Amino acid sequence: MAITPISSRDDILKRLGPPSQQRQLLDPDRTLSANYAAVDQACLDSTGEIQAILESKFKLYADGNYPQRLKTLDAMIAVKCLYVILRVPVPEDVMDGWRYATSILAKIEAGETAPGSPFAQTRLSRVIDNTDGGRRFTNEAFRRGGLLGGR
């Protein structure tokens, strides 16, 4: 199954700075042919990283309607991936963006914050299931029963 990137090539190029800086990074030999394949690969790498982090806790956005927060985080990670793919030293501001994005993704994975709106459906059931003849634990049943029952 093919991965659909969260952020687009244009999102990554906007984060690289002005066109002169983009040309310097993507066409260092000035051959007039920019390395857009590396940008596309960076998009896929960052999407795979985000999916690996969020897949265990959330059902992924199958329709491609990702929240803006995830798109921003994906673009930050993709810029760092682009520098790594091109084997160019990563600037400190790009590393700061990558650290910020990974810290937010860690908070999302831990459940401390949400991935954004539209909210992803969680894989964890938050509803107490009391359908098994009333034998499953609920707070109300435990209060009546307690350790000693109703005595």
- The predicted pLDDT at position 100 comes to 95
Q: Is residue 38 part of a domain?
A: yes
- As given in the structure block, the two tokens for residue 102 are 């990974």
- The predicted pLDDT at position 17 comes to 84
pTM confidence score: 0.72
Is residue 17 a contact partner of residue 79, using CB atoms and an 8 Å limit? no
- The predicted pLDDT at position 3 comes to 73
* Host domain of residue 45: 9-120
- The predicted pLDDT at position 99 comes to 94
Q: Is residue 4 part of a domain?
A: no
Q: Is residue 79 part of a domain?
A: yes
Separation of alpha carbons 65 and 27, rounded Å: 32
Is residue 15 a contact partner of residue 76, using CB atoms and an 8 Å limit? yes
Average pLDDT, the chain: 78
Q: Is residue 138 part of a domain?
A: no
Q: Is residue 133 part of a domain?
A: no
- The predicted pLDDT at position 57 comes to 74
Task: Tell which residue, 72, 77, 53, 51, has the closest CA to residue 116.
Answer: 72
Cα 66 to Cα 57, 62, 79, 99: the distances in Å are 16, 9, 19, 21
Residue 77 pLDDT more than 90?
Answer: yes
- The predicted pLDDT at position 74 comes to 92
Number of structural domains, the chain?
1
Q: Is residue 80 part of a domain?
A: yes
Which tens digit of pLDDT belongs to each residue from 9-38? 888 888 888 888 888 888 877 787 788 889
- As given in the structure block, the two tokens for residue 59 are 């059902």
Q: Is residue 130 part of a domain?
A: no
